[in-house]
Amino acid sequence: MKSSEILIATKNLHKLEEISQILGPYDISIKSLLDFPDVGEALEDGMSFEENAAKKALFYAQETGLLSLADDSGLEIDFFGGAPGIHSARYIDLSMSFSERCDIILERMKDVGDGRRGAHFTCVIATAFPGRLERTFRGELRGSIARYKRGSYGFGYDPIFHVPEYGRNLAELEPSIKNEISHRARALQSALDSIIELAGRSHLNKTAPG
């Protein structure tokens, strides 16, 4: 039996799988919001990735009573002045699929030269116990907006994000590679020692005599 428990504050199966694979080797039992269907949604009205991640971590920790890990992430395109940024999940039209959003971005940038197509993915991870924010951690992956959608791995804007070190789009990279280089992986790696320490503290709190 795993010794400690942490809530990954998401219902996104792709994101949950990515985080679970990275935390898999450690003695941590992972829950997600899918295990708490009656819990509402945190209000994401912050002005930065850090604010939104912190709001989510605190809200879901309070609602579930668990040590919670929440992330806020997005694509920042230089040509668009950093948009869509914190609005990545709601960019253009909330009813649109990410595939449709990708198509619109490519169309809007069809005449933009290679030297002006820079972009980066950003992820900020926050950890919190009920009523107490612990820390936030940031990870980034620098690349560019590709000319075409490519690849079947990943999700979101991965099909149009070109990773120069590999000469391929992020959605063309196998999960084992993405989990080493992605913005989320980099944020998690920065947070890993803290997560393990916090998870251990959570376990001690649960097992301490009352």
Residue range 25-77, pLDDT digits in tens: 887 889 999 999 999 999 999 999 999 999 999 999 999 999 999 999 999 99
> For residue range 122-171, what is the model confidence (pLDDT) as tens digits?
999 999 999 999 999 999 999 999 999 999 998 899 999 999 999 999 99
CA pseudo-torsion sign 9, 11, 12, 13: positive
Mean per-residue pLDDT, 96-124: 97
* Both structure tokens of 202: 């959570």
pLDDT of residue 202: 64
CA distance 63 to 7: 11
C-alpha distance from residue 112 to each of 65, 106, 144 (Å):
49, 10, 12
pLDDT of residue 14: 82
pLDDT of residue 23: 84
In a 13 Å sphere around the CA of 33, the CA atoms on its Cβ side amount to 21
Q: Where are the beta strands (DSSP E) in 87-158?
A: 118-129, 132-145
Q: Which long-range contacts (CB under 8 A, 24 or more apart) does 176-182 make?
A: 178/18, 178/153, 178/154, 179/18, 179/21, 179/22, 181/141, 182/18, 182/121, 182/123, 182/139, 182/141
pLDDT band at residue 204 using 50, 70 and 90 as cut-offs: very low
Domain that holds residue 98: 4-207
Q: What is the CATH number of the domain that holds 152?
A: 3.90.950.10
CB-based burial of residue 132 (10 Å sphere; 0-12 exposed, 13-18 middle, 19+ buried)?
exposed
Our answer to whether residue 72 is catalytic in this structure is yes
Mean per-residue pLDDT, 96-113: 96
Counted domains in the chain: 1
Q: Which of 35, 72, 111, 193 is the catalytic position?
A: 72
